[in-house]
Structure 1
C-alpha cells in the first residue's frame, strides 16, 4: 500500500467482478451481486470504463482473470469440509456474505478500514460470520493475529490468496507461507500467480505490458512472476505439497468458454492448489 492508502487493485478487481454481470453475456462464470454496491460512489466511474470499452483486451482480460479465480476458489471451497475460511489480501472480497463458515478476512489495515467504510456507506451489513484481521502481510506475523481473532490452529482451514502474490517479493511470500505453516496439516491453500515473460501467450504478454506498467505507476509494481517449478520449491520448503497448477482455460468448466462476448482465456494467470503436509 503506497503511503498507507487503500489498494487501487482491490477496487479494480471488484469492478471487474461487477462489470461481468452488466457487460458480458451468458453463461456467467461468477456472480457477485454485492461487488457494485461495495464500490459505492466509485462504481459509476469504474464500471463506466467496462461499459464503454468492454471489448478492449485489457478490460476483458481483467474481468476474465477476476471471475475465473473467484469461481475456481469458491468451487473448491464448496467441496471442502473446513469450517474456517481465511481470505488473505481480502480487498473488497464479498465471499463472507455468501458463506455459512467463519471467514477470517486478512488485509492491510488501510484497505480493510476502507472496505468497512464502503460497506457501511452502502448500507450493507457486515456478515456475522466475518472476523477482520488487520495485518501488513509483507511485514507482520500472521499466526498470532489469526489466533487473536479466534482462529483455531488445531483444525484444518481453507485459505484463499487471490490477486496478491504478484505484488509481493519472494521474501514476503515466504513470510506468509511460514505463517500459514502453523495451521493444522490438511489445510488447503488456493492462490494465483502470473507467469514470467516467455511463458505467456501473446495476449498474456500484451496484458502484462499494459497492466504491469499501470500498476507500477500507481505504486503497486509487479514483483514476482514465477515459473511453476519455482512456486513448488517455495511451497515444499514451507511444509506444503507441490501444487496442482491450473491454467485459466482449465479452471472452469469448458462450456463457460463457449461465449459470444469478448471473454477468452489467456496464458498469463495460473491457479495453484496445495495442502499443508507438515508443520514448519
Structure 2
C-alpha cells in the first residue's frame, strides 16, 4: 500500500459491495453504506456494473468484469462474517484492516457495542473523511491508527480504550493474503494475548490455488495493456494457507475452530448465481473461539 494515501484495494472492495447491494442475494446481503463511502468518480464504474450492460472498449470492459467478479465473491464472505458476529454479541468488536467497512453503521446488532476500527493512519484518514457522510453508527466507533512497522497493536488498542478483560469479536477480513506468514503469526499472537476467554476470531483467508496464482498476474498484465489503473499494484498477495495449516496455527494460540468454509459453498447456501466457481473455491471464512 502507498503510505501517502488510502488503500486502493479498500476502494475496490467498497465498489464491489455497492455493485452487489440489492442485486446479489438481496434477502441476505444488504450494504447501503457502500455507495455513500464512495466518491462520485468511483461510482461511475459501479453504476456501469450494476446496469448489466457491458461497456465498449477493452479497458472499460475489463473493469466492468473485474467489479462484477469481485462482487460475486464479497457477498458470501460478508454474509458469513455478519452471521458470525450476530451469533455472539460481545461488548467489543475489533475490525483489523477496516478499510471502508460499513458494519458499524449498517448492523443494528452492534448497538451499544464498542467498535474499534484498526488501520494504517493514511487509510484511516481517508475513511474518516468519507464516513462523515454516513448517518450515526449503531455503536460507539473508535478509530485506531496503527502502522504495524512501527506500532504495537495491543498498546494502540489500550490507548484507545480497549479492555482486555472483555470478550471481543475480532474481524480479519480481506487482509491475510497481503501479509507474510511471519506477520500473520505475530498478529495472531497479539490477538490471543489481548483476548479474554470467550472471544471470537473471524478470519477471511486464501487457500493455495493455481487458478488464483496465475489469474492475478494475468489480470494485472491486461490492465497494463489496456492502460487501466491497477488497484493492486502496490498490494500484492503474499501468503496462502491450507485449512489444516490455518487450523494448526490457530490451535497454537488457543483458538478452537468452529467452522471453516469456502466461498463457493457459502454462495451455494445463499442460492445466488455463480460464474467464477474456481475463484470462490479458494477463498475461505473461518470462525474460531477461545
Pick the TM interval, shorter chain: 0.7 to 0.9
The DSSP-based 3-state class of the residue aligned with 2:104 is: helix
The DSSP-based 3-state class of the residue aligned with 1:244 is: strand
The equivalent residue for 1:2 is 2
Residues 24 and 72, structure 2, Cα contact 8 Å, conserved in 1 = no
Q: Quick one: structure 1 residues 127 and 40, their matched pair in 2 at CA, closer, same or farther if it must change by over 3 Å?
A: farther
TM-score (norm 2): 0.81
The DSSP-based 3-state class of the residue aligned with 2:260 is: strand
Q: Quick one: structure 1 residues 205 and 267, their matched pair in 2 at CA, closer, same or farther if it must change by over 3 Å?
A: farther
Matched, 1:271 2:279: no
Deviation for aligned residue 1:269? 0.4
> How many angstroms apart in 2 are the aligned matches of 1:220 and 1:164?
10
The equivalent residue for 2:85 is 77
> How many angstroms apart in 2 are the aligned matches of 1:61 and 1:137?
30
Per-residue CA shift, 1:25-51, capped at 9, x if unaligned? 554541110110111224323414523
* CA RMSD, 1 decimal: 2.8
Matched, 1:67 2:80: no
TM-score (norm 1): 0.84
Matched, 1:146 2:157: yes
Residues 7 and 91, structure 1, Cα contact 8 Å, conserved in 2 = yes
Q: Quick one: structure 1 residues 224 and 37, their matched pair in 2 at CA, closer, same or farther if it must change by over 3 Å?
A: same
**How many residue pairs end up in the alignment?**
268
The equivalent residue for 2:236 is 221
Per-residue CA shift, 1:172-230, capped at 9, x if unaligned? 111211111121122110011112134xxx6x567545457776862101001121122
Residues 12 and 46, structure 1, Cα contact 8 Å, conserved in 2 = no
Unpaired stretches in structure 1, ≥5 consecutive residues: none
The DSSP-based 3-state class of the residue aligned with 1:251 is: helix
Unpaired stretches in structure 2, ≥5 consecutive residues: 55-60, 224-229
Residues 247 and 269, structure 1, Cα contact 8 Å, conserved in 2 = yes
